[in-house]
Amino acid sequence: MGNGYLQYGLMAMLMALPKLRKINLSGCRYGYYSRINDSFLLNLCKNCEFLEEIVMFNCILLTPDGIASAIRERPSLTSLSISLKSNGNIIDSLVNLKGLTCLDLSDSCISDELLSSIATEDLPLRRLVLQYCGGYSYAGCWNCRCDNLTKLALFALIRNCPLLSEIKMENIGSGIIENSDSSMDFGVYPQLKSLHLAYNSWLRDDIIKTFPFIFPNLQLLDLNSCTKISEYCIGQVLRKCRKIRHLNLSNSEICDSSLYIISKSCFGLLQLDLSNCDNVKEEGVMQVVEKCTQLREINLQGCRKVAANVVDSMELKQRFLKWHNVVDP
């Protein structure tokens, strides 16, 4: 089937869905849908007047300029998930989405200018994802070195996007800013409920220890594989973050002393991921199970000091818990 027939079929599909509100075009690399290109996206945005949400990761024929032209035709978009090869002319189109509440730029090559525009245009963002992004230096925006995402960048986004309730910044570079001012007043942001910071080796104790004060309503904290944070600091943070419901401490150095703090402070805890935490023992796990009465899921995979036969006694205390691959040491 030729390219013309493919395009005709795609356009016919659009005409049959005039009230389309959401569409996911991700992974259009092969076969019939590999012909999704700038022209298709433009027609999509022009013809589907009720369109609110577009997801288009790994659509290899889409260009930044084509995306920019398309979303300019649909300023009512509220959710946009895209992978950018470069910024192109997309910045002006992006900041004109005045109702945008969700922006996911995972696996994109982005610039300081784009991030600065997001942070200063007063968009009503509630969710921002910059997972596996590159190409920025923060030098123009937040006075940071290339390949860094520091607390200055994190708090600049929060300060300038006051409606953000969730931020996902996983695996965002490994550089460290030396001599940063840990006493800087970053303010208080009660709207921020979820913070995903997995695989960030730039995170240090001086950053984490500020979280209870600036994010008083934090309910989800993901510190998976944040290897530079001390066990002591994690314990101190959890002592004060009493609203935590979902906690991921995978691949960390925490031990039973932190679990005791969790059991005494995080009474509303629903999910706890301790996978590959080699220093965790049965006594600490049992303490959490007994005291955190709302706990419904715990991951102990790779916790070599927690024996498999401890599962039975735990299940008697919390019959609804979901256990994951507890192994013998």
Tell me whether residue 73 is in a domain.
Answer: no
Q: Are 87 and 56 in contact (CB under 8 A)?
A: no
| Token pair for 307 | 């024996």
pLDDT digits (tens, 9 = 90+) for 61-79: 888 899 999 999 999 999 9
If you average pLDDT over residues 234-238, what whole number do you get? 89
Tell me whether residue 51 is in a domain.
Answer: no
Let me know how long the chain is: 329
Tell me whether residue 22 is in a domain.
Answer: no
Q: What is the pLDDT of residue 223?
A: 95
Q: Are 285 and 258 in contact (CB under 8 A)?
A: no
Greater model confidence, 147 or 308? 308
Q: Which of 30-44, 137-151, 215-229, 287-301 has the lowest mean pLDDT?
A: 137-151
| Token pair for 39 | 């022209």
Task: Evaluate the CA torsion angle 31, 32, 35, 38 in order and state its sign.
Answer: negative
The whole-model pTM stands at 0.68
Of all residues in the chain, what percent carry a pLDDT higher than 70? 75
Tell me whether residue 21 is in a domain.
Answer: no
6 — pLDDT class (breaks 50, 70, 90): low
Q: What is the pLDDT of residue 196?
A: 92
Domain span at residue 287? 230-329
Q: List the CATH number of the domain containing 292.
A: 3.80.10.10
Domain count across the chain: 1
Burial group, residue 3, by CB count within 10 angstroms (0-12, 13-18, 19+): exposed
pLDDT digits (tens, 9 = 90+) for 92-136: 899 899 999 999 988 888 877 787 787 777 788 888 888 777 765
Tell me whether residue 287 is in a domain.
Answer: yes
Tell me whether residue 47 is in a domain.
Answer: no
Tell me whether residue 37 is in a domain.
Answer: no
Report d(CA 297, CA 299) in Å as an integer.
Answer: 7
Q: What is the pLDDT of residue 286?
A: 87
Cα→Cα distances 211→47, 242, 309, Å:
45, 12, 37
Q: What is the pLDDT of residue 132?
A: 76
Report d(CA 304, CA 95) in Å as an integer.
Answer: 49
Question: Would you say residue 202 has pLDDT above 90?
Answer: no
Q: What is the pLDDT of residue 270?
A: 93
311 — pLDDT class (breaks 50, 70, 90): low
Greater model confidence, 128 or 185? 128
- CA neighbor of 197 nearest in space, from 184, 208, 182: 208
If you average pLDDT over residues 86-90, what whole number do you get? 80
Q: What is the pLDDT of residue 222?
A: 96
Tell me whether residue 26 is in a domain.
Answer: no
Q: Are 203 and 149 in contact (CB under 8 A)?
A: no
DSSP H or E run through 206: helix 205-208
Burial 110-120 (b: 16+ CB within 10 A, else e): bbbebbbbbbe
Q: Are 19 and 51 in contact (CB under 8 A)?
A: no
